[in-house]
Chains A and B, each alone.
Chain A
Amino acid sequence: SQTIHQWPATLVQPVGSPLSLECTVEGTSNPNLYWYRQAAGRGLQLLFYSVGIGQISSEVPQNLSASRPQDRQFILSSKKLLLSDSGFYLCAWSDVTEAFFGQGTRLTVV
């Protein structure tokens, strides 16, 4: 069965520090991968998606970047965090009929 792992669950980082959130998928190959951000009490904002290794599409210009070094690994990064980067980040993969989500990372930039 397919499994998606996302870590860490919570993270507190100072302004200006770097960020690296990792997501890995098991049980499927060549998945479409996504990074979303969710503000409190709001819907999902698509940040990046990837249809293959090294193929990244950005939906929103921002202080973040994404990379896919391996087929089932998706990384969200920042060189210098801003206060506005605080939020709940979700990794997901999907097929035609369903999206599967990680448990999310609560990022607080202080």
Chain B
Amino acid sequence: SQQGEEDPQALSIQEGENATMNCSYKTSINNLQWYRQNSGRGLVHLILIRSNEREKHSGRLRVTLDTSKKSSSLLITASRAADTASYFCATDADSNYQLIWGAGTKLIIKP
């Protein structure tokens, strides 16, 4: 089953612009994670934000979490062509450490 829903499904921007992707979920969570997937490869963990956190930074990444709206956003600042990838959010589901995945946002950075 999938809990997270990312939007937009696809996003195409010019290099140097900021890219914002959103994720909504349905049930209460302990944490929310963002992952990146280059075409035809496995997913790579980007950042985790806990339910008691509202904002977190890692390099050019900024993640926000609004538990009242059950939503999160991932902002990539000063985008680069190498940021082209699909981005997924995932939320924890139960004590067996199952993650519930969204369908992803495909980000294309035009040089």
Contacts and interface: CB of A to CB of B under 8 A. Distances in A.
A103 B44 CA distance: 10
A94 B42 contact: no
Contact of A43 (B33, B98, B103): B103
A104 B37 CA distance: 11
Contacts of B44: 101
A51 B97 CA distance: 9
A7 interface: no
Shortest 5 CB-CB contacts between residues of A and residues of B: A101-B42, A43-B103, A44-B101, A101-B43, A98-B45
B101 A49 contact: no
A90 interface: yes
- Interface centre among A42, A99, A100, by most B CB within 10 Å? A99
B48 to A, nearest CB: 6
A90 B43 contact: yes
Contacts of B102: 43
Contacts of A32: 96-97
Given A43-B2, A44-B88, A88-B40, A99 B103 contact: no
Interface in A86-102: 88, 90, 92, 94-102
A92 B45 CA distance: 12
A107 interface: no
A49 B96 contact: yes
Contact of B45 (A42, A88, A100, A106): A100
